[in-house]
Structure 1
Amino acid sequence: MTQINRRQALRAALVAGAAVGAGALAVQPARADDDQAGTLGHHLPPVPGMHGDRRANELWYVYEQDFYLQPSPEVVAAYQAVGAVAGGSIEGVLYLYRGSRQYGTYPDKFVERLAPARDALALLSGLQLGVLHRYYRHSRLDEGFYYLGEGTCYDPRMPDGGKVHMMNTGPNGEPAVNWHLWHAIARAMTLLDVDARAWTSIDPMIGLGWAAQSVAQPKPETVNPPLEPRVRRRLFRQWRGVGPDEMDVRFDSVPYPPEIP
């Protein structure tokens, strides 16, 4: 995993599990217990040329620094450990997931293959929870995932070729497939009882980000416009409170969610 591509922290990052409560996809006003995170964006230093939500920009910037651009030796080792049981790379988790569902051996065979990497998954999950809680305490993490999918976080601090925090697309603009990988790893976490409650909550946020990117079709080097408010509200409603089994069904759809042509 030392040669992972520029946004494999997002596509292979083991879904940044968040300890948020069920139903977090509701569009909610700020709560008293979210005051620290809610005011954080107002205290972050301005970045010339940055566009989009300030807090979400900072979350994904730090996330990519910690899990791709400057990963610690333990993060690299954890990636390698997961890849070793998934066919050689972290992306193999998606192939294990799809194969298991296709051949009717899900979830048993899927869990069996990934069980040896449980400790590595748990380590990554714990580290990522720390990053997420720094910017989103008890609510509104769904907004961070929405902005990631919408592609409206333009960050001039990022390397050329990927100034926008978004899930990477193919070399010729092919639809992003790594939301599917993210879901597969979320399900692995849940089924292996690694922060299971958190992963169950965050999986619909992965779906929300996937749906937002599928509709918005953002570009990686452009200041992308936001989706219309009515579209945003519809996407949040569609992914609110979706359970694990239904998430599996929805992610059987390729490359876009079933409700999107």
Structure 2
Amino acid sequence: MDRRSLLKAGAAVAAGVALAAAGTPAALADSGLPPVPGMLGDRRANELWYQLDEIALYHPAQEVMDAYTALGTYFQQNAPEGLYRKWLALSQEPGYPGNYAEFAKPVEQPLRTLSKLQLDNFDHFYREDERGLLNAFAYFGQGVLFDPRRADVESEVHTMDGNPPSSYHFWYAVQRAQLLLGIDRHRWVRIAPMTGFAWGLQSIAKPDHRHVNPPLPREQVQHEARYWLRRTPAELDRDFRSSPYPA
């Protein structure tokens, strides 16, 4: 996808996202999902993030565990300061982005495994519904999804862990490697701006992780959408060099 197409698509989505993403989301009547007593917020978006945690964190398949082991071993040996710090250093060298692609190449297969894991989950709930997926990212960033099924781990709100939420930077570094290696590139070039969008919203909202949070004002969500959803990979690189919050 070239820059013009990306800008056009981003602008079109940004024009409508605030209407759906601002305000406390109501549970979808046609979600086809069983009700969860005590759940607050959009039913389908809650389930998206709940199931992603199930398959990626709490009950990963052996294939996923093997991918984690391979990535962990490689990063420990070649990026002991952490993947984000490695990306940050390489992204400021003259050889970027080729140097980062070269760094990530030995773990291409584990990165493919994680890409499939995440994209399959996104597609299960939002296949051919990019606006729905975008709203799920917006709800995630604002911290307006409350799921009592996570009470046992004291993380009832589906949002990025940490305060500040540094895992957005790790996730972006993974996505950037996937983009450069051609791993589902047409998908991640669309999702990476959503990652920035959620990071931007969470940096403003600073949501509580155990209690549902008030939504941000509609105008503020729309402002963030206009900024993030039309960002190119090179522009996102500049954004994510700022830590822990956007510049």
Question: Do they superpose with TM above 0.5?
Answer: yes
**Structure 2, unaligned runs of 5 or more:** 1-7, 18-27
Between the aligned residues of both structures, percent identity stands at: 40
Cα offset, 1:27, TM superposition: 4.7
Matched, 1:190 2:179: yes
Counterpart of 2:14 (choices 10, 14, 26) is 26
Q: Verify the 8 A CA contact 2:197 2:228 in the aligned structure 1.
A: yes
Residue 57 of structure 2 corresponds to 68
- Mean alpha-carbon deviation: is it higher for 208-217 or for 229-238? 229-238
Q: CA 1:184/1:152 → structure 2, altered by over 3 Å: closer, same or farther? A: same
Work out the CA distance in 2 between the residues paired with 1:57 and 1:252: 30
TM value normalised by structure 2: 0.84
Post-superposition CA distance 1:197-219 (Å, at most 9, x none): 11111110000000010011101
Residue 109 of structure 2 corresponds to 119
Residue 142 of structure 1 corresponds to 134
Work out the CA distance in 1 between the residues paired with 2:218 and 2:194: 18
More helix by percentage = 2
Q: CA 1:27/1:160 → structure 2, altered by over 3 Å: closer, same or farther? A: farther
Post-superposition CA distance 1:191-241 (Å, at most 9, x none): 011011111111100000000100111011111111111111111111122
Cα offset, 1:110, TM superposition: 1.6
Work out the CA distance in 2 between the residues paired with 1:193 and 1:78: 18
Cα offset, 1:152, TM superposition: 0.8
How many residues get paired?
226
Residue 57 of structure 1 corresponds to 46
Q: Verify the 8 A CA contact 2:14 2:222 in the aligned structure 1.
A: no
Work out the CA distance in 1 between the residues paired with 2:191 and 2:146: 23
Work out the CA distance in 2 between the residues paired with 1:178 and 1:203: 14
Equivalent AA in structure 2 for residue 145 of structure 1: F
Cα offset, 1:22, TM superposition: 4.8
Post-superposition CA distance 1:108-147 (Å, at most 9, x none): 2222221011011112211221111111122221111111
Work out the CA distance in 2 between the residues paired with 1:75 and 1:25: 32
The two structures, once aligned, show a CA RMSD in angstroms of: 2.3
TM value normalised by structure 1: 0.80
SS in 1 for 2:147: coil
